[in-house]
């Protein structure tokens, strides 16, 4: 397993703190429908950081690791898509 410097983890943490700050600030402003999208995108970026660095996915070589997150995301998007094609037309 690749050995990362302690500093790398600390920088990721700094990034996560900053992104949290941005999310909270944006929530205070009134963007209407856009607010939730921004919040979710930032949450996605934060999760991406945790997955890539803290959980080491960026440094895993095997194909199965590269496929996992795209795979589960595709599945969840499919579920959400199907649920909403039902719910939105009731």
Partner 1 sequence: MADNMEKHKDVTGSKIGMWLFLLSEILLFGGLFILYSAYRYKFPTDFHLAAGELDRVLGTFNTLILLTSSLTMALSISSMQKGKPRSSSLLLIATIFLGFLFIGNKYFEWAAKMEHGVYPNSPRLLGRPGGEVLFFGLYYAMTGLHGLHVLAGIILLAVMWILIRKERIHRADFMLLENSGLYWHLVDIIWIFLFPLFYLIT
Does residue 22 bind partner 1 (CB under 8 A)?
Answer: no
Does residue 80 bind partner 1 (CB under 8 A)?
Answer: yes
Min dist CB 61 to partner 1, Å, is 9
Min dist CB 39 to partner 1, Å, is 4
Among 43, 59, 66, 74, binds partner 1 (CB under 8 A): 43
Neighbours of 85 (CB within 10 A): 9
**What is the separation of C-alpha 1 from the centre of its chain, rounded to a whole number of angstroms?**
24
Does residue 59 bind partner 1 (CB under 8 A)?
Answer: no
CA–CA separation, 1 and 42 (whole Å): 29
Among 63, 64, 70, 89, binds partner 1 (CB under 8 A): 64
Does residue 87 bind partner 1 (CB under 8 A)?
Answer: yes
CA–CA separation, 84 and 82 (whole Å): 5
CA–CA separation, 74 and 68 (whole Å): 10
């Amino acid at each position: 397993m690749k050995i990362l410097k302690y500093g790398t983890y600390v920088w990721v943490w700094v990034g996560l703190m900053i992104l949290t700050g941005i999310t909270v600030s944006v929530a205070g402003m009134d963007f209407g429908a856009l607010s939730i999208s921004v919040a979710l995108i930032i949450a996605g970026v934060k999760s991406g950081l945790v997955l890539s660095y803290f959980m080491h996915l960026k440094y895993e070589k095997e194909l199965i690791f590269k496929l996992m997150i795209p795979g589960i995301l595709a599945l969840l998007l499919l579920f959400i898509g199907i649920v909403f094609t039902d719910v939105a037309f009731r």
